[in-house]
Structure 1
């Protein structure tokens, strides 16, 4: 039998943002759930699957049991699992690749370990630094610990305060991310922790350019780099405005070999597969630092469309190439 070049079915595994928020006991559940895909994005992902001649099967994880998942997979042979949910400790979506491995079913995207690692910013920072990749100076603030204030005082303001275990914007509606003093940074970190959002990462703020980088594993890894050109100065607006869109920006594709090189070093060091979106910021001196690694990036949105068009002509063509390569790697 000639092996299939693509799976017949892609099973989309996800947690519904609204349903999870309703069921959660976290004080700030709506903020935590922002890194879950909304229904509209799930539908767009399903259309990508269908546009390439594959069947899209939905598996909302909060609505089905493990037995039902196995039953669904048995009804759809030659399928591939795709986790569209971030997280390891709060959301169960990143366990899907391990589930697929046990059942000997190919999965699209990175492994459970890598997805969980990249949802814990303080953990992937440690892995990168062990591999010689510099990260911004930072400190982690945890609930119940005593010595974080001392570690924060070793950092040079202004400081960037963000939740370490969710999407990069989680918590911004609760506490604006910029802190101009150690005292303000510690107070914002405690406020997030009191709302159930933690641990919290406090980093020195890199005041140079910011880039969004898509990395795609077709036969080799390819990158597309966009500079985030701020419409208003981020440092001043984000210090005052709690909106996640404070200091709105537009994307400008650019040739930045040093940024592409750093992105690929991160991909290799963390063991990422298939696709990832990274955020990288430069210091005022032009030194680049990774600030976010999103292995569960939703394959929708303007930056994804632009990157796919630049490399493959369309999102549909890019998705086909990604799935084809991933399927071949796991079935040949």
Structure 2
């Protein structure tokens, strides 16, 4: 009944013939009220009657055309161009983020949906010293900001020190790049303007792309009409800008990218990253340790804080319009 193959006893196939030909119910002593016709079933007959299973779906990576372009990444970039404009301006004393909000339904209760001190519609607080503003698909922004918050807090829990903003930016871009090369997934259709501070490089502003690329900027704009905003930033940005001047400059520029020149707090979100006085509770952790007098703080401005800034931006806009009108009149006089 068994044959020897190179010193091994190999069972002959005839041993299994009796098992596969015996009734199915006789092998398993199941006391039930099954019909007697089940006694005629065998393992081999059940195998023959088995429903064929479809082949497993294999996630095929997206094809690469001969030109080397990734069409899915380009489609994700198109989603960013449909979002509201976001502007970031870096100064020596801090960084300003300004974003255009989408008009919500008057019945939408956003007070219970989110903490205004942590996140808004377009601006999110990732850590005490890091924040970001997004343009693109909102659900993708939620996924990336949650990933960023978890990464930053894990770093602090492990090393007992705040995470550098560039390291967090690189982690987000690594997550973005993974979704550009695997099948069954699509790239993140969102771009982020990340701001942060660390003791090595001070205040920093980074812009991320759907492809996973990122760059550092002194001032940058993403979203709809970003080219117009960037051309105005190149013209008006200065290295010696103060934080208050940067706030007004951002409002002036974003008003020229919106569908209306009149600014309103309901249409805008603004956040500031600056160094503030260290809280007194910090010394309770270790009174003998040396604590800095100032710490970086990222916070969102409310409507009351936006009103005087909007008024100043409107005042400067009217002055610019009057100066342009006088310039045109002088040209007409010279031509006449």
Interval containing the TM-score (normalised by the shorter chain):
under 0.3
TM-score, normalised by the number of residues in structure 1: 0.26
TM-score, normalised by the number of residues in structure 2: 0.26
Q: Which structure has the larger Rg? A: 2
